[in-house]
Amino acid sequence: MTAPPTQPIPLPRKPAASTASLLIVPSLIGALVALALGIYGRVHSPTGIAINIAGFSSPGTVKSWLATGATVFAIVQVGSALVMYGKVPRVTAPEWIGGLHKWSGRIAFLLAVPVAIHCLYALGFQQYSTRVLIHSVFGCLFFGAFTVKMLILPKRGLPGWVLPVAGAVVFTLLVVIWLTSAYWFFSTFGIKA
Amino acid sequence: MKRNTPLITLLVGAALGVVLLVASMLTTPSSALPNYSAAAASSAAPASSAAPAESSEAPEPAESSAAASAPAAAPSPAPTRTTPTADFTGRVGGGGGSVAVAVHGDKAIAYVCNGSTVEGWMRGKVEGDKLVLTGKNQTHLTASYHAGKVTGDVEAHGTDYSFSVPTVSKSSSKSSGLYQATAVVQGKTIKAGWIVLGDGTQVGSVEIGESGEKAVTAPKLDVATMTARIGNVVLHAVPVSGVTGSGF
C-alpha cells in the first residue's frame, strides 16, 4: 500500500511475468478442453456404436488408419519444424516449409478428430488396463495440449523455447496415443483395411 | 488473418467433432439405448469398452481364417464322436467375431458374436455328428463336429460366418469358454454373452429387450469375479458348458 522502496528484483521478474501471462489463458483453456473430454468420456455411457466410415472392415480399422495418418503427418510436423528452426545440418529452409508445417498439422488434427469422437462416444474414458488408461488420459491431454499450442501460436513476445516445447508435448502425446491404440490394434489383429 | 489461422484450425476441428458427434447420436438406434444408457449413466465406469478394445474392434482374425472355410458338410471319415459333451470356442473365419458351441448329450447351445451388434444365441439338437441350431431373428448354425473341432457356418443379423474352432482346452486357460448373464434394467431384459478364448481375449455383446434384435458391445467380463458392470448394474455371468451341463 505504502509502496516501500523494497526492491522486488525487477529484472528477471518482468519477462517471466509476461511469459506467464501470455501462457496462462491458453493453458487454462487447454486444461478445460482436456478435462471436458475426460469428463464427457467418463460420464457419457459408451454406446459401442458410432457412425462408421465406408470402405473399412470395422471401426477399429478405420480409427487405426486415421490415427496412423495423423501420426505420419505429425512426423512431418516435427521434421518441418526442425528445418524451420535450422536444426537440420546443411538444409536451409525452403520457402514452402511453413506451408508444409501448417497444412500437415491441420491435416493431422482433422484426421485425429473423428478418431477421438468415436473413442469418446462409443468407448468412453476407460481404465480396465494400463494401455487403455494411458490411452484415455493421453487422448484427453492431447487435445488440451493441441488447443494450447494453437492458442499460443499467434502470440508475440514468447520466449523461443515455448513453441518447440509445446510442439514436442503435442507430438509426444500423439505418439503415445497412437502406440496405445493403432499400433496395439495392428500388432494384435494384423494390418488390414 | 494470418494471426487467426491456428484458431480457425481449432474451430474447424471442433466443428467437425460436433458434426460427427451429432451424426453418431443420430445413427445410434435410439430404441436400443435408453435403458442401456440410463443404466450406465452412473459414474461407475461403464465399461462398455472392455470389449471395444478387445471386442468391438477386436474380432479381427489372427488365426483360423484359413481353416475356417472348410465346408460344413465334409463328412468325417470315421465319425469320431468321442464324447457326447464338448465345448468349442474360437474365432470365425475372417476374424470378424467369435463363435462358441456347447454340446451336451443330444442338445447344443451356440453363441456367435462380433463384439457389437452382430450376435445371436442358438439352440438345437445333435444328430450324429451334425448340429442344426436356430435362434431368434433367423440366426442359425449348421455344423459338424469331430474330436477336437467343430466346423460349419453360422448366420446372425444377416452376416454369414464360416468357422472351424477347437475344443476348449482346459490347460490353456481355465476361463476360456462361453458365458451368459441376464438382468432386468428399467423393465427391460438384457442378455449378455461373452466368448472368452484360450488366449484370454474376449468378445461380448448385450442384447437389449426380448426380441434380441438390438445388441451393443458388452462391458468387459472380469473372468476372475465373473462379473461385468453396466453403470451401477452388476451382471453376474454363468458359464454355458456342455461338459458341465451348466446353462442347459
Residue A22 has pLDDT above 70, yes or no: yes
**Is position A5 within any domain?**
no
Cα separation, B240 vs B79, in Å, equals 25
What is the interface size between A and B, counted as CB pairs within 8 Å? Answer: 155
Q: For chain A, say whether B17 makes contact (Cβ under 8 Å).
A: yes
pTM: 0.53
User: For B4-29, how does the pLDDT look when each residue is reduced to its tens digit (9 = 90+)?
Assistant: 789 999 999 999 999 988 888 876 65
Taking only residues 149 to 168 of chain B, the set having a beta carbon closer than 8 angstroms to any beta carbon of chain A reads none
| Residues contacting B91, CB < 8 A, separation 6+ | B59, B61, B62, B63, B64, B65, B68, B97, B98, B99, B163, B165, B197
Say what the pLDDT of residue A163 is.
94
Write out chain A residues lying below 8 Å of B10, CB-based. Answer: 146-147, 150-151
ipTM: 0.81
**Is position A12 within any domain?**
no
Percent of the residues in chain A that have a pLDDT greater than 90, as a whole number = 56
**Is position A6 within any domain?**
no
**Is position A29 within any domain?**
yes
For A122, nearest residue in chain B (alpha carbons): B49
- A113-126 residues labelled b (16+ CB within 10 A) or e (exposed): bbbbbbbbbbbbbb
Amino acid at B147: A
**Is position A91 within any domain?**
yes
CA dihedral for A63, A65, A66, A68, sign (positive or negative):
positive
Cα separation, B102 vs B89, in Å, equals 9
**Is position B224 within any domain?**
no
**Is position A16 within any domain?**
no
Q: For chain B, say whether A98 makes contact (Cβ under 8 Å).
A: no
Residue B238 confidence class, pLDDT cut points 50, 70, 90: confident
> Which residue, among B24, B27, B30, B65, would best test binding to A if mutated, counting the most A CBs under 10 Å from its CB?
B24
**Is position B96 within any domain?**
yes
User: If DSSP codes are grouped into helix, strand and coil, which group holds residue B214?
Assistant: strand
Q: Which domain holds residue B78?
A: 67-166
Cα separation, B116 vs B167, in Å, equals 24
Q: Which domain holds residue A124?
A: 23-189
Average pLDDT over residues B169-180: 75
**Is position B199 within any domain?**
no
**Is position A8 within any domain?**
no
Q: Structural domain tally of chain A? A: 1
Q: Structural domain tally of chain B? A: 1
Q: For chain B, say whether A59 makes contact (Cβ under 8 Å).
A: yes
Cα separation, B131 vs B129, in Å, equals 7
Pairing type for strands B227-230 and B159-166 reads: unpaired
Nearest by CB to residue A45, choosing from B4, B25, B46, is B46
Cα separation, A33 vs A140, in Å, equals 8
User: If DSSP codes are grouped into helix, strand and coil, which group holds residue B29?
Assistant: coil
